[in-house]
Structure 1
C-alpha cells in the first residue's frame, strides 16, 4: 500500500505497525528514485532513523540493492534490515581503509555522526562529524551524496519570523553544532574538488513515536514534569516524511553540493503543544521559565517547493503521540534536548 494522507491510520498500535508505516513509500518517492540509476548505500545505518530509511528505500525500489553500513553493535538491527531485503556490511567509518573497501554505490546517504554525549568526548565528536565526512567524500567522489546535517548549524533567529533560510551563514553556539559545520564544509570542499553532486540535508527534529520533541513534551505533561520554555518555539517533521525527502534528494542533487532545510513548515509554540497534550491527558502542564525571542528554527520553503508539504501533519502527530504515550508504549529513552540554548549536549 502506498502512503497517502488518506491511508494514514488514526492510531499506531505497536512497534511493528510503526515500522511498517515508516517504511511505506509515496508514489512521489518511487518516481524520484526512478530518475537516478544504481544501488543505494546508507552509511551509518544503525542510528535512530537509519534502519527505516533503508527499509523505505528498499520498499520504494525493490529491484535495487540497498546496502546498510555500520558497526552494528546491536546485532538485532542487522536482522531487522535483512528481513526487509537490505544488505549489510560491518564497517568502522573511522577506518579509512575500510571505507575505501566498500562497494562504490552510485547513491550514498550519509547518516553517520555524533550528537548525544558530544560534550563528553569532543575530540571524538569532531572526528565523527568532520574527519569521517572527509574520508567518505574522497572515497565516494563519483557518487551522489546526500549528507545528513542539522538545523543547529544556524544561529538562533527571531521566533516571529519565518526561520533561517539556506542562504544564512552558519554561526552556531557550542562545539557540537560547530563540528556539524565542519561536516558540511568537508562535503562542500570535496564536492567542489571532484564535481561530486550532493545535498546537505539540514534536518530539524524528526519525530517518531518513540522519541522526538512531541514525545518529550507529552511525556512531561503526563508525568507532571516541568517543561522549560527557554526554547519556546520549534519545528519538526514526521520521520517517515524526513526519510522520504532525504531519498528524494538523490534526484535533486546539485554540483557543487548545497544545503536544503527539512522540517515541518510551521513554527509551533512549546506552550501551545503542551496545552494540547494537557487537554488530551486531562491535566495541566507544568511550565517553567520564559520564552525567549529567538530559537533554532528553519524556513523549509525550498523543500516544500521540491517535495510538497509533509504527508503527516501536526495534528495527526499530536494525536499519534498522545495515544502512544498514554498507553506507555516503548521509548528510546533519548531526549531531544531541544530546550538547550548553549549547544552543550
Structure 2
C-alpha cells in the first residue's frame, strides 16, 4: 500500500531494514551527520537513530547544519537526535565540532551553482579537506553523485565505478574534486572512507519520477531528450548509505547507489498518464546517451533495493492524485550541459 499521509511517508522513509539494525549492533560509537538538513538528511538521521535503538546500542546521532528553515532543528530533536547549528564554511566551525567515530558527509552545493562557482567549489571541494583533517581517525561515508561520470550510451548498462570519469560542468567537476580530497586523505592518513555516487533518490515529494508525474498531472509536455534515468526509493537509499559505513576502508571504497533498472522517460510518462487517466504530451527526441549508473556493486555488497520501480511509480501517482505535498524542488535531471 502507498503511504497514506505525511506521517506515514516519514515513518517509511526512516524505517530501518534488518540489515541496518544488524550493522548498528556491531558499529561502535556516535554518528555525526554533516549537512543533515537537506532533502535526504532528516530521514537518514531518523533511520540511524531508530536502527541503533532497535539494535540495543544507544548512541548519539548528531545532526549538523545551518538549519535555516523554520522548525528544521526541532524536527530532528523531537526524534531524539542532537543538533548543532553552524555554517560549516565559517571560521573554525569544523574544528569546534565534537569527536565522533563515524561521520556521514552530506554537505554540498548543486542547485544555484551556476553563477556561484566559487561557492560551489568551496563547499564541494575545500570543505571536505577541513572535515578530513578534523576526522582523520573516524570512519567516513561521503555522498557524491553519478554526475562525475558524464553521459554514457543508453545501451551500455550505465557507468561502473572503475570507469574513467568525465564530469561536465563546474558542479560535476567540483564533486570530482570532493572525491579526490577524500581519496587523498584516505590514502595518506589511512582514514576509512566510502564514496557514495547517488543517482537519483526519490521521495514522493521530489525526485525524477515526481517531476515527470507532475508534468503529466498538470498537462505539461514531458521533454524526452534526456530519455533515460535511474532512480531509487529514498528509504532504500537511506538504508544502503548507512550500510556503506561498514564498507569504508583505505583506500576509499566507491559505490554507485541507484535502482536496478534503466527507466525510459517516455514509458514512465505514459504509465503516469494511464494511472491518472490523463493525456500525455511528449516533446523532443531521445538522445543516444544519458546520465546512467550501473548498480551491480551496490547490489552485491550492500543489497538490492526493497521497493521496486513499478511500486514506486504507483506510490508517486497515488501521492500526487490525492493532493500530497511537494517540496517544490525539481531535480533538473534533464540538464545535459551540466548547469544547475
Relative to the length of structure 1, the TM-score reads 0.96
RMSD between superposed Cα atoms in Å: 0.9
CA contact (8 A) 1:233 1:268 kept: yes
User: Structure 1 stretch 110-119 or stretch 89-98: which is displaced more?
Assistant: 89-98
Q: In structure 2, the residue corresponding to 1:100 is in which secondary structure?
A: coil
SS at match of 2:71: helix
Q: Deviations over 1:263-290 (max 9, x none)?
A: 0010011011001001011122111111
Aligned to 2:92, what secondary structure does the other structure show? Answer: helix
1:48 aligns with 2:43: no
Are 2:94 and 1:99 equivalent residues in the alignment?
Answer: yes
Per-residue displacement from partner, 1:7-66 (whole Å, max 9, x unpaired)? xxx121221111111111111111122232110110000100001100000000021110
Q: Quick check: 1:154–1:169 contact (8 Å CA) kept in 2?
A: yes
Q: Paired residue for 1:29, among 4, 12, 20?
A: 20
What is residue 316 of structure 1 aligned with on the other side?
311
Question: How many positions carry a matched residue from both structures?
Answer: 336
Q: Which whole-Å CA distance do the structure 2 matches of 1:235 and 1:35 have between them?
A: 32
The separation in 1 between residues aligned to 2:154 and 2:326, in whole angstroms, is: 29
Q: Which residue in 2 is equivalent to 1:3?
A: none
TM-superposed CA distance for 1:75, in Å, is: 3.9
User: 1:114 aligns to what?
Assistant: 109
Which residue is equivalent to 1:247?
242
Deviation digits for residues 294-336 of structure 1 (CA, Å, limit 9, x no counterpart): 1010011000001221011111101110011112211011101
Report the secondary structure of 2:159's partner residue: coil
Give the aligned partner of residue 71 of structure 1.
66
**CA contact 1:109–1:146 (8 Å) conserved in 2:** yes
**Aligned residue in 1 for 2:268:** 273
Quick check: 2:240–2:303 contact (8 Å CA) kept in 1?
Answer: no
- After TM superposition, where is structure 1 displaced by more than 4 Å over at least 4 residues in a row? none
The alignment partner of 2:155 has SS state of: coil
SS at match of 1:134: helix
DSSP-derived class of the 1:170 partner: coil
Q: 2:283 aligns with which of 273, 282, 288?
A: 288
Task: Please point out which of 232, 245, 248 is paired with 2:227.
Answer: 232
Q: Which sections of structure 2, spanning at least 5 residues, go unmatched?
A: none
Q: TM-score, normalised by structure 2?
A: 0.97
